[in-house]
Amino acid sequence: MPTQKLEKLLQELEEQIENEALESDDLKRQLKDLKGSIERSIAGQKDDEPETLVESAMDALREFEDSHPTLTMTLGRIMDQLSKLGI
């Protein structure tokens, strides 16, 4: 059940990535890479250490907190779900 909520949040993040006016393609790529890492992690294909995944998410949160509050809120909810899953 918790993974279903996380998957829904990841879909929401994907939509926001496509719809937000991001400053650069690099930021868009960074978010998509983070989303892919999270998806692989919940699928059991852990290519990153959990600490690396959390660090990447925290970096993204800091990067977007002022300029993209909706993305920041979604990333925060994703991090909460990851925590509940022990990731």
Q: Mean pLDDT of successive 10-residue segments in the chain (87 residues)? A: 82 85 77 85 66 77 81 87 81
Two tokens at 70?
A: 């909706």
Reduced to 3 states (helix: H, G, I; strand: E, B; else coil), residue 74 is: helix
User: What pTM value is reported for the model?
Assistant: 0.77
Residue among 85, 25, 27, 18 at smallest CA distance from 56? 27
CA–CA separation, 55 and 73 (whole Å): 16
If 0-12 CB within 10 Å is exposed, 13-18 middle and 19+ buried, where does residue 21 land? exposed
- Domain residue limits, the chain: 2-84
Looking at residue 50, what is its pLDDT?
A: 60
- Rounded alpha-carbon distances, angstroms, from residue 9 to 27, 54, 79: 19, 16, 10
